[in-house]
Amino acid sequence: MDEPKVMDEKTLRTDSSVYNQGTMMKQQIHEEINSAVNYRLITERIAAGTARDVSQELKKAKEPALIIGSGPSLDNALPLLKDWKGGIFCSTSHALSLMRFGVEPTHIVALDPFCRWEELEGVDWSKTKTKLIAHPGVWPDLLSNWPNDILLYIENMGHQNPFYGTQKRMYSYRVVGENKDYRNPTFVFYIPTEITLFACSPPIQIFFADLLGYGHSFLVGVDFCYSDTKERFTNWTMKDGEWVAHEHPFVSEPDLVRTSNGKFTKAVHLYYKKNFLTAWRLSKQTVYTTDQGAITELPYIDIEKVVRKQGRGFDTQTEEFVANHSEKYLAGVGAFVVETSNGLSFVESHDPARELTRYMADLTNFYTCDTCKVTVKAETPGDHSGETCPQCKQGKLKSSYTIDVQKNIKKFQRLLEYNDIKVDRDDWIPEPRKPMPITGVQSSLK
């Protein structure tokens, strides 16, 4: 095979905003329609006790879990998984292939609005203990046909999105007190759990594994690249009572990228890899890979050994280990983790010295009301802590973020030097706050 002209992983930059915008344009309208169609079915199943918020599920005692992906290495792993006794998290596209090899997933995660029942047809799922994890925006026939319990969640984008806020309120009910004040009821959410989206299924699968009390996670088929002969795993479907294999051979094409360990892939898969490592950093979970694909930042363990030991006896990864291994890669592809008193913020930047310092300075201008919990942005100079909330006129403002700017800058400098990215140290100077009035509601109903 003639080797195609390729780009290099180390020099490739993917813009999440472009991918996210494209995804929202194609998918959100379907989620809106599906959420409306599914309303009656979901609320009826909640009342019947066969659907509930995912947080209400009984927690596991740190039982290990497998995280299934769509890479070509899954073909080699599938025959070995029948002896696995722990958790198995897959998407709707993997479920039938697992069952073909006698492997019953514990959880099928439905992420896209196009997750449909036809992806699961051919197996009597009522004879399994498999549970479906889904949000209200999945294709209606998936929920209407699913015979077992449904665990529910609401998606979010990591920032305010009008649709997901509306969807969460849509799936709620009102409680009016004895005073009969119908204008000011208490809202109770059917689905309070929100999970941040990270582009592909494996990140959300590790989030759910953690939320449900599982321990170490092991990636299986999460390659984010091609093999010499296959583009992705061989998926199986059922037709007329017979299993049918669907092969996906690798075909050389333009715009291929060479990974750091010499594999062929496409830019979108490296975008997925970036998102997965970001999710790993956020979750701080212990995650191993059983694949020899594009993810070299995670420790590798052979799948045969994982199954033989049932995922036990492997070291727990410290938060420092997770941060070090994930952030080195992320900084190399223009993604950075800002540490604040309010958690972690993820920022993509082509000019880190100027943009990251500006970003951190801007965060210190956000204040939260201690009464109505609204967040406002103050862009007049000085500290506005203790001032009266401009929305409710009763509460007092307190700083939303405390940031050790110099600590973050030193970390960014170290990571850039590791990746041989030259940045003039004199550029790391936070810009002064620009004067603007306190304005703009950033969040409301929680």
β-pairing verdict for 186-189 and 172-175: antiparallel
Structure tokens at 221: 């088929």
Domains and CATH numbers, the chain: 6-322 (3.90.1480), 334-439 (no CATH)
Helices (H) and strands (E) counted in the chain, each on its own, are 11, 23
Contact 77, 101 (CB under 8 A): no
Structure tokens at 44: 């009826």
- pLDDT score, position 16: 65
Helix (H, G, I), strand (E, B) or coil at 164: helix
- pLDDT score, position 223: 96
- pLDDT score, position 412: 93
Helix (H, G, I), strand (E, B) or coil at 63: coil
Give CA–CA dist 193/209, Å, rounded.
Answer: 14
- Rg of the chain over CA atoms, in angstroms? 24
Q: Is 134 left (phi over 0), alpha (psi -120 to 50) or beta?
A: beta
β-pairing verdict for 194-196 and 154-156: parallel
* Residue type present at position 156: N
- pLDDT score, position 375: 84
Contact 149, 131 (CB under 8 A): yes
- pLDDT score, position 21: 64
Query: In Å, how far from its chain's centre is CA 27?
Result: 16
Helix (H, G, I), strand (E, B) or coil at 42: helix
* Residue type present at position 103: V
- pLDDT score, position 3: 56
* Residue type present at position 268: V
Handedness of CA 307, 312, 318, 321 (dihedral sign): negative
Give CA–CA dist 390/376, Å, rounded.
Answer: 8
Contact 153, 188 (CB under 8 A): no
Contact 372, 441 (CB under 8 A): no
- pLDDT score, position 184: 83
- pLDDT score, position 440: 35
Per residue of the chain (446 residues), what is the pLDDT tens digit? 455 567 788 887 777 666 666 666 778 899 999 999 999 999 999 999 999 999 999 999 999 999 999 999 999 999 999 999 999 999 999 999 999 999 999 999 999 999 999 999 999 999 999 999 999 999 999 999 999 999 999 988 765 667 778 888 899 998 888 888 888 888 899 999 988 888 789 999 999 999 999 999 999 999 999 998 999 999 999 999 999 999 999 988 778 999 999 999 999 999 999 999 999 999 999 999 999 999 999 999 999 999 999 999 999 999 999 999 999 999 999 999 999 888 888 888 888 888 898 888 888 888 888 888 888 887 676 788 888 888 888 889 888 888 888 899 999 999 999 998 888 777 787 655 443 333 333 332 22
* Residue type present at position 169: R
Contact 353, 334 (CB under 8 A): no
